[in-house]
Amino acid sequence: MENEIIVGLDIGTTKIACFVGMRAENGKVKILGFGKTDSKGVEHGVVKSVTDTAESIRRAVSEAADQADVDIDEVWVGIAGQHIKSRPSHGSVMIPTDHRLIEQEDVDRLISEQYNIMLEPGEEIIHIFPQRYIVDREALSREISPVGVVGKNLEADFHMVTANVQNLQFIKYAVQDAGLHIKGVVLEPVASAKAVLDDSDRDAGVAMVDIGGGTTDIAIFYDGIIRHTEVLPLAGNAITNDIREGCNILKKQAESLKVKFGSCLTSAVSENDVISIPGIRSQAPREIYVKTLAEIINARTRMILEQVDYSIKLSGFHKKLIAGVTLTGGGAQLKNIKELCELITTTDTRIGIPNEHLSADSVSFADLAHPMYATGIGLVLYGLEQAEEGREEEIHEEAPAKNETKVDPFVAMKAEPELEPADEPEKPEKPKKEKKGSFEKTIGNFFKKVFDEGIDD
C-alpha cells in the first residue's frame, strides 16, 4: 500500500510551521518539506485575528508544499492556549445480556458516553484518556484489555481534556481561509511528546514540558499512560518582554540578546562582560552587562519553572517520575535552563530534541533537530499512526473476528492496574503570580462534528 503523506501544522504564538512527512523505511518519519513564518494574529496560543493567522498559514504551507512538491489540502493541527483545561471523570455501562464477553462496542460506548457529562458553558471535550478499567468492581491490570473479559458491568476512570468552543472555531476559520481542511486536532503537548519521548520514558514516568512563545505545556506520563495535562499562559515571550523593558531596547534586540548571550543562571556568567547594543538613529550605543541580562532571564524563567513544579506536584506523580523532566520547545534552547530546572524541581532533566524519531534523509535534518520543532514533527507522527491504525482496522474487518484488539499505549487506550494512592504530604505552596480506534476513531468523529457542523460557515 502506498505510504501516506501527512501534514502537520503548528500554529504557535511566535511562529507558524508546516511539516510534510511520510513513514521512512526504517520506521522513523521522513520530512519531505518544511515551511515556517512569523506568527501573526495569535496570542498565548489562541487565534485572535483570523485574517492575519490565515495569511501566515498560507505562507508556511506554500513553502512546505513547494519543497515537498506536493499539493496540500488537509492538515493535522496542534492546539494549546490558556483555555485548555483537564479534569478526572468516571463512567460505567452495563454489558448487554446477549454479550457473552465484553466486546469492543461496549468499550466504545463507555467512552462515547463521557461526551454527555456536564461541562462549563462553552467547553468541549477534545481528548479522553482512560486511566484504568474495572470489571464487576475488580480493577484490570494494564496488560489485560477489557475486550474479551467476562463481566456484567464495565467501569473506567478517565483523564479528560477540554477546550473553548469559540477558540476551536477560530482555528477552523483561519485554516479554512487558508484554503485547507482540518484532518484532526491534537493537544500540543501530546504531539510534542510523540517526537521527544519513547515507550521507556512513558513507562518509567516522565513530565514533558514544552516551553513555547506564549504558553508552557505540560504532559505527565506514568506506566505508559498520560496522567496529567496543563497549559500555563507564561513562556518565552514573557522573558523577551522583560529584557525589552528592563534594558529599554527594541523587542527584536531583546530576543537576539536572549538567544545569543542569555543564561538562566547568574553564577554562570562573568561580572564584567558587556554587550553593546546599537543606538537608534543618532543615539549612542547602549551597553548592557551580561550579568544584568542573566538576572532578568533567571527571574522570569524561575517563575515559569516554579509553576511547572507546582503542577507536577499537584498531579500526585512527582515521586514517580523515574525518567525525570524532559524540556522541549523554543524555550528549551535557553542556556543553563536544564540546570535551573533541576535546581527547582529536584528532578533529573534533559532537553528533548525530535531527532530520535526523525529520519536522517529528511530535508534540512540538522535544522529540524531542534526543540522548537517538536510539536510540528509530533503532529506528523501522530497523523501517521492514525492512518496506519485505520489501515489495520480495514484489514481486521476483512479477517475473521477475534476477541483481542490492538490498543495504542501512547494514547492510554489500555487497561491499567489500580494505582496506590498518590503520596499526599503537605499540599505544595502555589508559586506567586505577577499582578499584571478504535477509541481514537470515536475522538476523530467528535472533531469532525465540531469543525464541520459546530457552526454555520
3-state percent breakdown (helix, strand, coil) of the chain, nearest 5: 40, 25, 35
Question: Bridge partners of 449?
Answer: none
The percentage of the chain sitting over the pLDDT mark of 70, rounded to a whole number, equals 85
- The average pLDDT across 161-169 equals 93
pLDDT reported for residue 150: 94
Residue 242 pLDDT greater than 90, yes or no: yes
| Residue of higher predicted confidence among 283 and 428 | 283
Nearest to 258 by CA among 203, 224, 215, 213: 213
pLDDT reported for residue 59: 97
| Residue of higher predicted confidence among 289 and 400 | 289
| Residue of higher predicted confidence among 403 and 56 | 56
Residue 156 pLDDT greater than 70, yes or no: yes
Question: Please, are residues 75 and 174 in contact by the beta-carbon 8 Å criterion?
Answer: no
Least confident among 67-71, 77-81, 262-266 = 77-81
| Residue of higher predicted confidence among 323 and 424 | 323
pLDDT category at 457 given cuts 50, 70, 90 is very low
pLDDT reported for residue 413: 35
pLDDT category at 452 given cuts 50, 70, 90 is low
Q: Please report whether residue 23 resides in a domain.
A: no
Least confident among 72-81, 114-123, 173-182, 230-239 = 114-123
Question: Please, are residues 131 and 227 in contact by the beta-carbon 8 Å criterion?
Answer: yes
| Residue of higher predicted confidence among 125 and 1 | 125
pLDDT category at 298 given cuts 50, 70, 90 is very high
Q: Please report whether residue 286 resides in a domain.
A: no
Q: What is the DSSP letter of 331?
A: G
**Tens digits of per-residue pLDDT, 203-221?**
999 999 999 999 999 999 9
pLDDT category at 432 given cuts 50, 70, 90 is low
| Residue of higher predicted confidence among 281 and 258 | 258
**Tens digits of per-residue pLDDT, 315-367?**
999 999 999 999 999 999 999 999 999 999 999 999 999 998 999 888 888 88
- The average pLDDT across 246-268 equals 93
Contacts 24+ apart (CB under 8 A), 107-110: 107/133, 107/146, 107/147, 107/154, 107/439, 108/439, 108/442, 110/154, 110/155, 110/156
**Tens digits of per-residue pLDDT, 392-417?**
555 445 544 433 333 343 343 333 33
CA pair distance 141, 12, nearest whole angstrom? 39
- The average pLDDT across 161-184 equals 94
The percentage of the chain sitting over the pLDDT mark of 90, rounded to a whole number, equals 70
The secondary structure element, H or E, covering residue 446 is helix 439-453
pLDDT reported for residue 334: 95
Instruction: Quote the cell numbers at residue 206.
Output: 516522565
CATH number at residue 95: 3.30.1490.110
Domain count, the chain: 1
- The average pLDDT across 229-257 equals 93
pLDDT reported for residue 424: 47
Residue 257 pLDDT greater than 60, yes or no: yes
Instruction: Report angle CA 72, 78, 81 to the nearest 5 degrees.
Output: 140
Instruction: Report angle CA 134, 136, 138 to the nearest 5 degrees.
Output: 50
Domain membership of residue 156 as a residue range: 85-161+405-429
Q: Please report whether residue 133 resides in a domain.
A: yes
Task: Give the pairing of strands 206-211 and 325-328.
Answer: parallel
CA distances from 52 to 42, 156, 185, 228 (A): 9, 43, 20, 33
Question: Please, are residues 157 and 110 in contact by the beta-carbon 8 Å criterion?
Answer: no
Q: Please report whether residue 90 resides in a domain.
A: yes
pLDDT reported for residue 456: 46
Residue 61 pLDDT greater than 50, yes or no: yes
pLDDT reported for residue 381: 95
pLDDT reported for residue 128: 92
Q: Please report whether residue 179 resides in a domain.
A: no
